[in-house]
Amino acid sequence: MSGHDAPPTLGLSTGPATSLSYHTGTWRTERPVYVDLAPPCSLACPSGEDIRSWLGSTQEGEAGFETAWRRIVAANPLPAVMGRICYHPCQAACNRGEVDEEVGINAVERFLGDTALERGWALPVPTASSGRRVLVVGSGPAGLSAAYHLRQRGHDVTVREAAAEPGGMMRYGIPAYRLPRTVLAAEIRRIEATGVRIECGVRVDSLDDAQAEFDAVVLTVGAGVAHHVDIPAGAAAKIVDAIDVLRDVASGNAPLLGRRVAVYGGGNTAMDAARTARRLGASDAVVVYRRTREQMPAHPTELEDAVGEGVRVQWLSTISEVSGPTVTIERMELDESGRPVGTGVFEELDADTVMLAVGQEADLSLLSGVDDVDVRDGVIAVDPGTLMTGRDGVFAAGDASPGSRTATFAIGRGARAAAAVDAWLASRVLPAEPVVREAEASRLNAWYYSDAPKQHRAELEAARRVTGFEEVLAGLDAEHAVFEARRCMSCGSCFECDNCFGMCPDDAIRKLGPGMRYEIDYDYCKGCGICAAECPCGAIDMIPEER
Amino acid sequence: MREVLEGSQAVARTVARCRPGVVCAYPISPQTHIVEALSVMARTGELRDCEYVNVESEFSAMSVSIGASAAGSRAYTATASQGLLYMAEAVYNAAGMGLPIVMTVANRAVGAPINIWNDHSDAMAMRDSGWLQLYAADNQEAADLHVIAFAAAEELGIPAMVCMDGFVLTHATDVLELATQEQIDGFLPPYSPTQVLDIDRPTTIGTMAGPESFTETKYLQHLRFLDAADVVEAWSDRFTEAFGREAGGLAVRYDPDTLDRDRSAPPAGAEDLVVVAMGSVIGTLQEAIAPMRAEGLPVRLVGISAYRPFPREALKAALGESRHIVVIDRALELGSGGVLTGCVGRALAGTGSRIHSVVAGLGGRPILEGSLRDVIARALAGEQRGLEFLDLKTGGVPVPPVGATEVAR
Amino acid sequence: MSTVHIPFLQTGTLAVGGRLLDDAERSVQSQADRPSSLTRGHRACQGCAEALAARWVMDTAVEAADGRLVVANATGCLEVFSTLYPESAWKPPWIHSLFANAAAVATGIASSLHAQGRDDVRVLAQGGDGGTVDIGLAAVSGMFERNDDVLYVCYDNQGYMNTGVQRSSATPPSARTATTPAVGRQPGAPQGTGKSMVKIAMAHEIPYVASATVADLRDLEAKVRTAMSIHGARYLHVLVPCPLGWGSSSSESISLSRAAVQSGIFPVVEARAGELTDVQRIRERMDVEAYLRPQARFAHLFKPGGEDALNRWRALAEANIRRYDLLGGRP
């Protein structure tokens, strides 16, 4: 033998997985990075709910329901209410609308809200007290939200409400067929159970007195006064304010309206009024609106529901005169800028009663004589960031302050006001709301979402609706709520579908376990971009590699 | 037990007694009788725990053998001529991978023109493939060489061809004494591959070597091949001791007078003309030279048994002081001469030897004793030229019949 | 179809996994401790679908065989990028011999294991389209015909990519390769050329033949599992986009596979004993352009004069849709 070191075999065999010593990550020109972007639903939610997150918990079924509900009430203490009355701008923004149909967020919220009421889940009670006293004037959605969030921060909160019962427009403006009073009362009681004191039938008429009693005041007095238009009317004409009718119905004093009712206006109150008129026995309810369907401020579903109950709409029409059993209507047309102008063509409409639903105003009598709180355009002027009025320690939110007059907006502003009061009481600067990147539909890879239509809530038959004030929409059952929640595409936030992990040709992604998501092994990731391209929810960015 | 057997049957039975796990072959004359016999034995159960695989080509036959060997089986195949060339890529591959496959080559000419008869041009085409090439002088050795081939190949991790002349040996019947099953079981160690596709100890076999490692890989293969001469010789010696007859070895010595094979025969002397040859022509040479020796002519015979590795030292030892060589070659390096002659010449470089190259028996042309004696005599007389084609007919090949081409058109 | 249908759980059957799935419903690739038979450190190009498909196939096979799997690999990209000595990216016992002989080497392994009484150890052979459809066809056909106990997997990237993108007989007509340049009257690979290995395999009437893509992991895993549940010769043909050879972005390997299926260009089928038993229906029908346009090898189809070839693609898709009823009766 030649005494050399030749191996016994020559196949250049080698050990398994020895390639780990070769780091292909050096090839990379772009690197994938996991991101968490803001979903359009949450960005569109005036209440500031983290919708994606609570839908995510709901997806887990029974085990996740309470977590989901707690995630809602972190922003909105009234899920059962809002699950019924919210116009759900979240759904209009939902990216799933571009795939099949938007997720029925509102229905899931209601399911969670109702489940919480059924099971008696309580809101958190603050353990520590700040020792500071805050007055909230008005118990509408803005007031209740402000009170709740202030209480969560440990403040001693009193709500003073001029009406006999708390709830504001939720109690007196929204018909019971849309929001059963028991649901509203239960959710308000639950807020009271956290230590918020609500005093009804107490009108606050002096800001100075209030400030003397409390460390801070939040004005959430709403906009419960009907706006009026001047219409020539004969002596026999019966003209009423829609908001008053709704309030009377809500207070148990349903008025007699007659068989033919004309409702003047195009907002949600007009829809509520017309539908209420039908329930009160009107065989004919006509909404007279001076613009077109596209321009109508009422939410499309409200209009649909109204029409479904037999309400008619007279588009491009103004009421020019009310004279007893008939109403004179002028046909309108749109000018070049889209504004309605009269055509000089008139027609008659039979109507026993005209209900005016042409807007509402805030009752700002409290501010008469207060010169350091500005009122502009009929509402209380506030700092857009802190919601503080011109007077130190006085804040305003809800319909009495600038912005959208919806319950969801009111809840969001109430929460914001609470944060601002909290900061002001502590002499802290309220941080600006962070700028977030939106998870736009173009980031999604919708291929991966199974085809499944929205779970339609079983609607009561239209005929049955007009006979009374039973709740119109049935809620989802647990199975359907879970199903609906699972339609959420989790836009911009990893939901652990394993696509990146499974589809990496370089085996360069590690799966960290439930809830822990993934980790990219940059020693080996070549930056091909498949993970980003195939991420269903757009939660991976490809960014240029820094060398 | 001595018995009358065809060479192919003798080889098949001996191979079977070496207990291969997989036998895979594609038929080609003159190898067919060997694999037919093995297929029968596998079917009847005489060859136990063995898969006989009929494949669609020699390329696949070798490839199946590669897979089988790598998976831990003693693998055997047989081929010849075109078949060997058709599997050429896999032949090289088996050697590069160090898989100790044993293959019988029933030596046959390579076309064109197509020719099914014997010469060594097929195996010679694979001389640098990295396989051992052991040439049988007769059918007894053909059978015995397979035992040595398995043993040496498996010790070395180098595949081995056992070359036996097609038809001349494969189809010839002799009185033979085959190694029995018990003898082989006692002689041949069980197959224990050093690299195997083992699910418990996974390995990657057949990686790619870049320029940074290919030369070294080949160098190590070369060193291993140098070892092979010792290993082949050692197993041949062990065989002789175990079975009482010679087989294999490197350069084979013959008794100067009886011309019988004898490893203790003295080396040639300075006065001797030595005839170097391999394969079945050795037998003819024994018959041709014996009378010349009786006449007192200084002629010796040296056989090459291990053509690969080429036994330079053993050959030089057998040639002793002789510097006058005639090489009987059964393969032609076109434009140059006999293939074996080239190897002998390289081995004897610097010794001042005169080497005659006699190309004989191409494509099955009988090699006649008389012709061999004639060429040896002329070499002794100094009348033999450097390269000679034995019994070459003058006038080339016959011309096709006149008009046949025209008719065909 | 042997696919697993995942009930609606945010994403369904089409995603790799999902946090809401039961363990039994999880794909092999979604498991944190999957075998990763082809592991990191291999040198495949960025976005190589062959590397991806090979891991998917082999991981499933390893699981199905309870870890007892031996692999024979043909020469080609897959072999070169995974085993440059002294490194190997493979975990199972693996052998590479030659370009044309993976099927025969696998037969040898299977024969050896059978002779050793180790029928529990399963054998997988794999190669590219060149090693399967062209140079290795005889060995593959022989293995099929003998019904050897081997699962043969062809990763079809439609050309000789390892040697610099030359045409193979799996290259589709009109595709530009280095040997079918996009010049002349009929740019790219000649019309009327190319062969279907799936049909060739079916003609052997072997127990199981299937096609799959990297656009549907569940389908691919189910097919490997089905194949592994059968003994005898089995064939799986996987379309694997090649960013280098196709002139596509490295991030598009999955989406191109999807487009190939959804346009009808690449039928995803299953056959047993030569009979077509199932096809994957088109879920969202796409025009052939969705498949062709992102690929530079078809860029000439979208220039003046490319209409004929483009129409031929549409005709091919239509023919596939008819032949395999890819729309399942839908218009």
- DSSP of C177-195: -SSS-S-SSS-SSPTT---
Specify the pTM: 0.91
Chain C residues lying within 8 Å of A14, measured CB to CB = 83, 85-88
Q: Is the bond into C86 cis (omega within 30 degrees of 0)?
A: yes
A9, A10, A12, A18: best mutation site toward chain C, by most C Cβ within 10 Å? A18
**Could you give the maximum distance between any two Cα atoms of chain C, in Å?**
63
Tokens of A25: 């990550």
B208, B216, B217, B218: best mutation site toward chain C, by most C Cβ within 10 Å? B208
Confidence tier at B396 by pLDDT (50, 70, 90): confident
Half-sphere exposure of C236 (CA within 13 A, CB side): 31
Q: Could you tell me which chain C residue has the CA closest to the CA of A525?
A: C40
Interhelix angle for A407-425 vs A141-152, to 10°? 40
Closest to C1 measured CA to CA, from C273, C276, C257: C276
Distance from CA of B401 to the nearest CA of A (A): 55
Half-sphere exposure of C228 (CA within 13 A, CB side): 26
- Please report, to the nearest 10 degrees, the dihedral formed by the alpha carbons of residues A475, A480, A482, A484 taken in order: -90
Confidence tier at B404 by pLDDT (50, 70, 90): low
Chain C residues lying within 8 Å of A514, measured CB to CB = 19
Number of residue pairs across B and C with CB atoms under 8 Å?
Answer: 164
CATH of domain B261-389: 3.40.50.920
Confidence tier at C10 by pLDDT (50, 70, 90): confident
Contact C42, A525 (CB under 8 A): no
pLDDT in tens, C204-226: 999 999 999 999 999 999 999 99
Name which of A1, A9, A18 is nearest B194 (Cβ-Cβ).
A9
Name which of C68, C100, C107 is nearest B53 (Cβ-Cβ).
C107
Out of A230-239, A294-303, B35-44, C60-69, which region has the weakest mean confidence (pLDDT)? A230-239
Q: Could you tell me which chain C residue has the CA closest to the CA of B87?
A: C101
**Amino acid letter, A55:** L
pLDDT in tens, A394-429: 999 999 999 988 999 999 999 999 999 999 999 999
Equal fold, B2-195+213-243 vs B261-389: yes
pLDDT at position A469, please?
67
Where do runs of H (alpha helix) occur along A163-309? 169-172, 181-192, 207-213, 242-250, 268-279, 300-308
Residue B370: Cβ within 10 Å count: 9
Length of chain A: 547
CATH of domain A133-224+370-425: 3.50.50.60
**Amino acid letter, A306:** A
What are phi and psi for residue A122, nearest 5 degrees? Answer: -100, 150
Q: Where are the domains of chain B?
A: 2-195+213-243, 261-389
Tokens of B295: 């006449």
Asked if the Cβ–Cβ distance from A11 to B98 is below 8 Å, we say: yes
Chain C residues lying within 8 Å of B22, measured CB to CB = 108, 111-112, 115
Please calculate the CA angle A8-A12-A17 and round it to the nearest 5 degrees.
125
Would you put residue C93 in left (φ > 0), alpha (ψ -120 to 50) or beta? beta
Asked if the Cβ–Cβ distance from C41 to A524 is below 8 Å, we say: yes
Enumerate residues 43 to 72 of chain A having a beta carbon within 8 A of any beta carbon in chain C: 59-60
Asked if the Cβ–Cβ distance from C40 to A536 is below 8 Å, we say: no
Chain C residues lying within 8 Å of A526, measured CB to CB = 46, 250
Q: Where are the domains of chain C?
A: 28-324
Q: Tell me which H or E stretch contains C103.
A: helix C102-115
The fold of A227-360 is FAD/NAD(P)-binding domain (3.50.50)
Task: For residues C312 and C173, give the distance between their C-alpha atoms in angstroms, rounded to a whole number.
Answer: 9
Where do runs of H (alpha helix) occur along A33-124? 40-44, 51-58, 62-73, 79-85, 89-93, 105-119
Confidence tier at B384 by pLDDT (50, 70, 90): confident
Q: Does A234 touch chain C (CB under 8 A)?
A: no
Closest to A424 measured CA to CA, from A390, A392, A459: A392
Which residue has 């960013």 as its token pair? Answer: C243
Closest to A482 measured CA to CA, from A170, A73, A88, A57: A57
Residue B89 scores a pLDDT above 60: yes
Question: Which residue pairs from B189-195 have beta carbons closer than 8 angstroms and sit at least 24 positions apart in sequence?
Answer: B189/B151, B189/B154, B191/B21, B191/B72, B191/B73, B191/B74, B191/B154, B192/B154, B193/B69, B193/B70, B193/B72, B193/B100, B193/B154, B194/A8, B194/A9, B194/B98, B194/B157, B195/A9, B195/A11, B195/A13, B195/B70, B195/B98, B195/B157
Residue B408 scores a pLDDT above 80: no
Task: For residues C255 and C213, give the distance between their C-alpha atoms in angstroms, rounded to a whole number.
Answer: 10
Asked if the Cβ–Cβ distance from B64 to C138 is below 8 Å, we say: no
Asked if the Cβ–Cβ distance from A507 to C38 is below 8 Å, we say: yes
Task: For residues B363 and B340, give the distance between their C-alpha atoms in angstroms, rounded to a whole number.
Answer: 17
pLDDT at position A3, please?
54
Chain A residues lying within 8 Å of B204, measured CB to CB = 13-16, 18
In order, the DSSP letters of B124-159 are: HHTTTSS-EEEE-SSHHHHHHHHHHHHHHHHHHT--
Closest to A398 measured CA to CA, from A216, A200, A139, A220: A220
B66, B198, B208, B220: best mutation site toward chain A, by most A Cβ within 10 Å? B220
Asked if the Cβ–Cβ distance from C88 to A21 is below 8 Å, we say: no
Task: For residues C71 and C69, give the distance between their C-alpha atoms in angstroms, rounded to a whole number.
Answer: 7
pLDDT in tens, C14-49: 899 988 888 888 899 999 999 999 999 999 999 999
A22-37+494-544 under CATH 3.30.70.20, yes or no? yes
Chain B residues lying within 8 Å of C115, measured CB to CB = 21-22, 49-51, 68, 73
pLDDT at position A75, please?
97
CATH of domain A41-121+451-485: 1.10.1060.10
Chain A residues lying within 8 Å of C48, measured CB to CB = 505, 528
For chain C, the chains sharing at least 3 beta-carbon pairs closer than 8 angstroms are A, B
pLDDT at position B364, please?
96
What are phi and psi for residue B244, nearest 5 degrees? Answer: 75, 15
Helix (H, G, I), strand (E, B) or coil at B344: helix
Name which of A4, A6, A11 is nearest B195 (Cβ-Cβ).
A11
Q: Tell me which H or E stretch contains C142.
A: helix C137-146
In order, the DSSP letters of B249-296 are: -SEEEB-TTT--B-TTPPPPPTT-EEEEE-STHHHHHHHHHHHHHHTT
Asked if the Cβ–Cβ distance from C70 to B97 is below 8 Å, we say: no
pLDDT in tens, C248-274: 999 999 999 999 999 999 999 999 999
Q: What is the 3-state secondary structure (H, E, C) of A270-304?
A: HHHHHHHHHHCCCCEEEEECCCCHHHCCCCHHHHH
Task: For residues A531 and A437, give the distance between their C-alpha atoms in angstroms, rounded to a whole number.
Answer: 20
Task: For residues C53 and B33, give the distance between their C-alpha atoms in angstroms, rounded to a whole number.
Answer: 45
The fold of C28-324 is Rossmann fold (3.40.50)
pLDDT in tens, A156-199: 999 999 999 999 999 999 989 889 999 999 999 999 999 999 99
B2-195+213-243 under CATH 3.40.50.970, yes or no? yes
B204, B222, B231: best mutation site toward chain A, by most A Cβ within 10 Å? B204
pLDDT average, residue stretch A278-291 = 91
For chain B, the chains sharing at least 3 beta-carbon pairs closer than 8 angstroms are A, C
pLDDT in tens, B348-368: 999 999 999 999 999 999 999
Chain B residues lying within 8 Å of A13, measured CB to CB = 195, 203-207
Query: C137 or A362: which carries more pLDDT confidence?
Result: C137
Equal fold, A22-37+494-544 vs A133-224+370-425: no
Distance from CA of A5 to the nearest CA of C (A): 18
Hey, which residues does A158 pair with through a beta bridge?
Answer: A135, A197
Asked if the Cβ–Cβ distance from A502 to C47 is below 8 Å, we say: no
Percent of chain A clearing pLDDT 70 (strictly above) = 94
Enumerate residues 190 to 209 of chain B having a beta carbon within 8 A of any beta carbon in chain A: 194-195, 202-207, 209
Length of chain C: 331
Enumerate residues 18 to 37 of chain A having a beta carbon within 8 A of any beta carbon in chain B: 18
pLDDT average, residue stretch A82-96 = 93
Interhelix angle for C49-64 vs C253-262, to 10°? 80
Q: Where are the domains of chain A?
A: 22-37+494-544, 41-121+451-485, 133-224+370-425, 227-360
Q: Could you tell me which chain A residue has the CA closest to the CA of B208?
A: A12
Residue A255 scores a pLDDT above 90: no
pLDDT in tens, B119-148: 999 999 999 999 999 999 999 999 999 999
Residue A539 scores a pLDDT above 70: yes
Hey, which residues does B388 pair with through a beta bridge?
Answer: B358
Tokens of B272: 């001797």
Asked if the Cβ–Cβ distance from B56 to C141 is below 8 Å, we say: yes
Asked if the Cβ–Cβ distance from B207 to C101 is below 8 Å, we say: no
In order, the DSSP letters of A371-410 are: -SS-EETTEE---TTT-B-SSTTEEE-GGGSSS--SHHHH
In order, the DSSP letters of A9-40 are: --S--B-TTGGGGS-GGGG-SEEEEE--PBPH
